A and B are shown apart, each in its own frame.
Chain A
């Protein structure tokens, strides 16, 4: 039988994502509040603490409960990644960094999480309300399609914007 991943893997993944956020917000410290890298480090330490608690109470908690609190922690990490992306795009109006963030941080993190969660669901025969992998693959296909179109025809986006402006004047 193939070895299965434990629910605590999502805690580990969430912790690593928080650490990544901590380092990235430190590198871009002029764009974010000064305390943010430290807050993310504290969140990562909390994930580590949760991992230790999970280890101690492995039998008492049961797999169902362990999965949901680990999944929730990972979800919080992902929400933070998306929130920072939105913050860069809207509050800071830094489109290039926001796009780079989306391509290098948000999208890979979400894809990796979707992959592992769907894999866990498949191996553990757990049923999720959404077909996560399918949704993830469709999003990935859309992203690749849009990226390829923009790469092959860089004028596409400015043209689209100009068309929108003309329509507004009409």
Chain B
């Protein structure tokens, strides 16, 4: 009888309601917090990628990783003479409607600077952007990341590569340059 009286008392009722209220409030807050942290990420195919250019064979261009990576292994630099590869590889925007901004970014460079004068890469968009690696015979000067330029929908643009070895360069010297193309989407 006494227990029943205690259980039905106002304070007991209030404490019960207070506990359930705290439970509901904290559970709701936890769900809201987790909701705030939710993000949806959908996989998508890339619209901008590499395709081989007209001089791909001369430049030793090979494209892999679903057209997202490429190597140009047959580029030559002749002593005291500028060599230009006009179309060794192209950057294509395959989107039918949207233009994207791209830029060239230096990643890594290795090779003895005394054998080279410059190696540069120019993307032939309407506003040309380039990375120009120059050597003073002692060390390389690595260019900074280029500005953004637009690649129009359904269009491909050549990357022109120009090389020049130093006057005293001996044959068989190798410079390896890795560059990246950032695509702003």
Contact = CB atoms under 8 A, between A and B. Distances in A.
Contact of B21 (A9, A41, A51): A41
A15 B25 contact: yes
A6 B28 contact: no
Nearest to B31: A51
Interface in A35-53: 37, 41, 44-45, 47-48, 51-52
Given A6-B36, A22-B17, A37-B13, A16 B25 contact: yes
Interface stretch (A54-62, A81-89, A131-139): A54-62
A63 interface: no
Contacts of B18: 23
**Dominant SS among interface residues on chain A:** helix
A101 to B, nearest CB: 18
Contact of B29 (A12, A27, A59): A12
Interface in A1-18: 6, 8-9, 11-12, 15-16
Contacts of B13: 26, 29, 37
A48 B32 contact: no
B40 A59 contact: yes
Contact of A12 (B20, B28, B38): B28
B13 to A, nearest CB: 6
B35 interface: yes
Interface in A55-78: 55, 58-59
A51 B32 contact: yes
Interface residues of A, number: 25
Contacts of B31: 48, 51-52, 55
Nearest to B14: A26
B180 interface: no
B38 A55 contact: yes
A6 B35 contact: yes
B17 A41 contact: yes
Interface in B38-83: 38, 40
B8 to A, nearest CB: 11
8 contacts: A11-B32, A22-B17, A22-B21, A29-B10, A48-B24, A48-B27, A55-B31, A55-B38
Name the 4 nearest CB pairs between A and B, nearest first: A19-B21, A51-B31, A12-B32, A15-B28
Given A6-B36, A48-B24, 9 more contacts: A6-B35, A12-B28, A26-B14, A26-B17, A41-B20, A41-B21, A55-B35, A55-B38, A58-B38
